[in-house]
Copies of this chain bind each other. A is one copy, B any other.
Amino acid sequence: MDKIYKQTMLFDFYGELLTEHQRRVYEDAVYQDMSLGEIAEELGISRQGVHDLIRRCDKILLDYESKLHLVERFNRAKETVRAIEGLTNQAEGTMDIPDRLQAIRSLARKLLEEL
């Protein structure tokens, strides 16, 4: 997973647990792709201050993920949903309808475990 994508996922799930100030800086850096210098100027703090704040947010968000595993669970559940979606495509595959419905049913049950 590339770094910005990972930061975005973590922020999507746990961003609400940051302070407003942390959220703002992190959003500027991760979503707006602003440079440390730009963010520093906007907020009237040093580049080093911005840098430290972002590293601190990374750590906070990773700590939450290590406890709650929401990003991991979401990614797993998403794959299962995609597999269900794939099975609804009548044009594809050689599986007959009863088998197909049975496979979707199994995936739905698997999904309930993964949520």
A56 to B64, CA, bound (A): 20
Question: How large, as a class, is the contact surface on chain A?
Answer: 20 to 34
From B97, B101, B115, A74 is in contact (CB under 8 Å) with B115
- Inter-subunit contact B112/A81 (CB<8 Å): yes
A96 to B112, CA, bound (A): 26
A111 to B104, CA, bound (A): 14
Query: A44 within 8 Å of B by Cβ?
Result: no
- Inter-subunit contact A13/B68 (CB<8 Å): yes
A residues sitting closer than 8 Å to B (CB atoms) are 13-14, 16-17, 64, 67-68, 70, 74, 77-78, 81-82, 84-85, 88-90, 97-98, 100-102, 104-105, 108-109, 111-112, 115
